[in-house]
Amino acid sequence: MMSKLPENNNLVSFDKDYGLYFNDLSWVPAPRYVLRRFRVCKILRGISTARILEVGCGAGALSYDCWQKGYEVEVLERSAEARLVASQTLLNTAVAKSIHAESLDWNQQFDVIMSFEVLEHIENDKAALIEWLKWLKPGGMCLLSVPALMSKWGPKDVWAGHFRRYEKQEFLKLMNDCGLECIHFETYGYPLTYLTNILRDRIHNADSKKRPVGDLEGTERSGIERKSEAKLFSFQQSYIGRMLMRLCCHAQSAFAKFGLGDGYIVLAKKKN
C-alpha cells in the first residue's frame, strides 16, 4: 500500500487509497477528505501537465498528490499553523519552496487554480474568487469544492469556521458572475458523509455554542485538526475499513447522478 516518498521524509507515509498521513497520526485523511480526493484525482486525470496553484492547502496532502503526478505546484496558505504542517508534508519536494503566506505578483501565471473547502470560510467569497481568477491564465481551469445545502448546517460548520453552505444554483451563479464557465459539476459524499456529519455534529455541539459563525480560529484549525479522526484511522486502514471506504468512494459517484451528496465539486473554465 506504500508509494515512493520524498527522500529523508520520515514524518509521513503514503497509502494508495488515502494518500499521505503523518506517522504519529497528528494528521490523517478523514473519510470526507478521502471521498473528495478520490473524485478530484479522477478529474485531474483529464488535465495535462500544468502549473497549479492550490489556495488554502491545509495539510498539503492534495498538493503532494499533484506533485507526485508531475504537475508544477505552488500553494497559498494564510494559516501559520497549516503552513507548518504543509512544510512537513511537502518536505524535500519541489513544492516545499513554494509555500506562500501571501499572494505574489501572479498575474495570469497559472494553468489551474484549485481550492477545496475554502470559499465557505470567506465572508466575501465573490471578491476572493475574483482575486484568484486574476492569477489564472485566459482559458485556464478552476477546480473547486464546497460544502452543500444549508439544510445540512450544524455544529460541525460553526466549529470549522464556516460562513455558509452552498445551494447548487447559488454556487453556479457565483462562478458565472466571477467570470467562470462551468465545465463539470457533481455532488460527492453520499451516503457516508450523511452518517459522519451526524457524528461530527455531536462531537462539536458543545464547542460550537461558544463560537460565532465564521470563527477565524475554527477556519485555521479545520484543515489540520484530526483528533477524532485519528482514533478511527486504524480501523480505516484495516481490511474491512479499507473495503468499506473503497465501496463508499465508488458509491458516491453513482448517487451523484441523482444529485445526492453534501458537497459540490466543480471544474470551470475562465472566460476570455
> CA-to-CA distance for 113 and 140, rounded, in angstroms?
8
Percent of the chain with pLDDT over 90: 88
| In this structure, CATH architecture of domain 12-270 | 3-Layer(aba) Sandwich (3.40)
Q: What is the mean pLDDT of residues 156-162?
A: 96
Full DSSP string of 91-107? TTSGGGGGEESS--S-T
Is the pLDDT at 50 greater than 50? The verdict is yes
Q: Are strands 263-270 and 180-188 parallel, antiparallel or unpaired?
A: antiparallel
Question: 268: which residues sit within 8 A by CB, 6+ positions away?
Answer: 141, 142, 144, 175, 180, 181, 182, 183
> CA-to-CA distance for 62 and 140, rounded, in angstroms?
19
Q: What is the mean pLDDT of residues 123-152?
A: 98
Q: Name the pLDDT band for 3 (thresholds 50, 70, 90).
A: very low
Burial code of 86-103, b = ≥16 C-beta within 10 A, e = fewer? bebbbbebebbebbbeee
Cell numbers for 98: 513554494
Residue spans of the domains in the chain: they are: 12-270
Question: pLDDT (tens digit, 9 = 90+) per residue, 237-247?
Answer: 999 999 999 99
Q: What's the pLDDT at 156?
A: 96
Q: What's the pLDDT at 209?
A: 86
What's the Cα-to-Cα distance from 67 to each of 59, 60, 71, rounded to whole Å? 14, 10, 5
End-to-end CA separation in angstroms for the chain: 43
> CA-to-CA distance for 37 and 39, rounded, in angstroms?
5
> CA-to-CA distance for 29 and 25, rounded, in angstroms?
10
